[in-house]
Chains A and B, each alone.
Chain A
Amino acid sequence: MEYLQLFIIILFSPLVNGVIKKVKANMQGRTGPGVLQPYYDLLRLLRKDMVISRVTSWIFSVTPYVVFASVTAAALFVPVLTTRTAFGVKGDVIALIYVFALGRFFLALAGLDAGTAFGGEGSSREMTVAILVEPMMMLALFTAAITAGSTNIASISGAHRALSSPSHLLALSALVIAIIAETGRVPVDNPDTHLELTMIHEGMILEYSGRYLALMEWAHYIKQMILFTVVVDIFVPVGIAQTAGFSGMTVPAVSYAVKMTVLAVLMAAVESTRAKVRFFQLPSILGGAFVLAFLALVTHIMMGK
């Protein structure tokens, strides 16, 4: 069961992205591609040939594997259906954030490696956003960690009931903004196009094609799903199982599916109702979210709940 959770995340992550795209299209009055479209895209990319620039070094070809391996390792940390995770006591929020940071580091290097202007632009922007987002995520997660008395995601998820205090609400809103920035969604980055000069994530993977691009995209979907899972694990752990067996997994599975759908719809709603902001206005938004996370922590310490 512990290891099955890994495959749940890996297999269903394109579906989550498909649902977000579908809901977003419907909100904008379009029909949109079916929810399975990301799978078709991945399959198509996996079958295609790769075009690799002659000026690239080994970093370029090793990065897709590093990125994919880092998110897969991160997937072993998070409880999906049961709080028993494959990494057990080592499944720590700080480790999770730094496993992501490893992937991001290689992604930024690969963006620079091909030597195109867009890649370098994307890398530099990604790092700027990361500087703002990482401490914010940490503060938000620490707020929940103090309640549980542990930084282990599984014990946080097992320890307390859903959203029991105002500081958790503040931390949740900060974390949602952090996730929007991390997954490259609209107020921060535009996930649908690589035709703009403002792109961040798309800029870095612009030089990839074929199999490598499939790995990169898939890793991005997995990362998105892991972040969503962390949110529901920490703030709404209703229905999650405490045992490792296969029996009685219906309730956790159904509640997890419902929570994921709600989050996906929420993300689609945010993307449809917001406009992308200029890059230089990002520090204002992310700074605001940082203050939210800070207030969450201070309120939590001072109010004691």
Chain B
Amino acid sequence: MKHWLETYSIIDFISVGILLTAVTLNAFKSIESYVKAYTINSWLLAGLIAVVGVLVNESHLYMAAVLTVLTKGVLIPIIIWRIIRRMRVAHEVTPYISNTLSLAISGILVAVVYASLQGGIFVTGFSRDALQISIAVILISLFIMITRKKALTMVMGLLFMENGLFLAGFSLTFGMPTIIELGVLFDMLMGVIILGIFAVQIKRVFASADLDKLTVLKG
């Protein structure tokens, strides 16, 4: 098993998959595809943790993988599906710039990350490639957050960013202690619930979840 994982460089394939799900966000038009991409991203992340767990023989990594699947792969997508249904939102994502341009910019972002992280901060951990990819994912999701208008899209950007941060931390440290991971996941869950309620309220008060309309105070 271990030998097989190393020969076929499964880690590389999974981390490139994680990068790909983040890049495809730029091309999607509906919020549903965002949620699907996030689900795939989370499952890949959990898979990566499990694979590294097999490679370094650490049993607490299996637990982290299972926790990741349960919260990010199952619970958070279900909550977001419910929010989407409750808001009855229009399905478009409404970016400020065209899909092609935003794809091109995220491509450039990845190249910049790869070029600037060639040497330097990578000291410990299992894979420099995973670190580069995680930082690229963080930047792409930040880019998604600043170029999309709808509140829910920003929540998705935030979730992707958290996945990227998790991967960055994981690739440098072989995973934090389980209690900290538990805390982070719980925070995430609460964050999604609160942001979801927020988005629903914005929609109710302004009759739109478009954040451009939040420039006027209402008393």
Contact = CB atoms under 8 A, between A and B. Distances in A.
Interface residues of B, number: 26
A252 B19 CA distance: 36
Interface string B78-101: 000000000000000000001110
B99 A284 contact: yes
A295 B23 contact: yes
> Which of A167, A292, A299, A305 has the largest count of B CB atoms less than 10 A from its CB?
A299
A196 B101 CA distance: 30
Interface string B157-183: 000000000000000000000000000
> Which of B12, B19, B118 has the largest count of A CB atoms less than 10 A from its CB?
B12
Given A295-B19, A298-B114, A166 B13 contact: yes
B27 A165 contact: no
Nearest to B13: A166
Given A166-B13, A169-B13, A295-B110, A302 B99 contact: no
A288 interface: yes
A288 B20 CA distance: 11
Given A287-B99, A291-B106, A299 B16 contact: yes
Contact of B100 (A170, A284, A303): A284
B59 interface: no
B115 interface: yes
A33 interface: no
A291 B114 contact: no
Nearest to A302: B114
B141 interface: no
B146 interface: no
A294 interface: yes
A205 to B, nearest CB: 29
Interface in B96-145: 98-100, 103-104, 106-107, 110-111, 114-115, 118, 129, 132
Interface string B53-87: 00000000000000000000000000000000000
B215 interface: no
Contacts of A149: none
Could you say which interface size class chain A belongs to?
A: 20 to 34
B20 A170 contact: yes
Contact of A165 (B12, B19, B23, B104): B12
A302 B23 CA distance: 18
A34 interface: no
A299 B114 contact: yes
Nearest to A304: B129
B27 A295 contact: no
B132 A302 contact: yes
Contacts of A284: 27, 98-100, 103
A169 B104 contact: no
A115 interface: no
A245 interface: no
Contact of B107 (A283, A294, A302, A303): A294
B100 A287 contact: yes
Nearest to B16: A166
B150 to A, nearest CB: 19
Contacts of A290: 103
B23 A291 contact: yes
Contact of B110 (A169, A287, A298, A305): A298
A291 B107 contact: yes
Interface in B30-67: none
A305 B9 contact: yes
20 contacts: A166-B15, A166-B17, A170-B16, A284-B98, A284-B99, A288-B26, A288-B99, A288-B103, A291-B103, A291-B104, A291-B106, A291-B107, A294-B107, A298-B107, A298-B110, A298-B111, A299-B16, A299-B19, A303-B12, A305-B9
Interface of B: 9, 12-13, 15-17, 19-20, 23-24, 26-27, 98-100, 103-104, 106-107, 110-111, 114-115, 118, 129, 132
Given A166-B17, A284-B27, A284-B98, 9 more contacts: A164-B9, A170-B16, A284-B99, A291-B103, A291-B107, A295-B20, A295-B110, A298-B110, A303-B129
**7 tightest A-B CB contacts, nearest first:** A166-B16, A287-B100, A302-B114, A291-B107, A288-B27, A284-B99, A291-B103
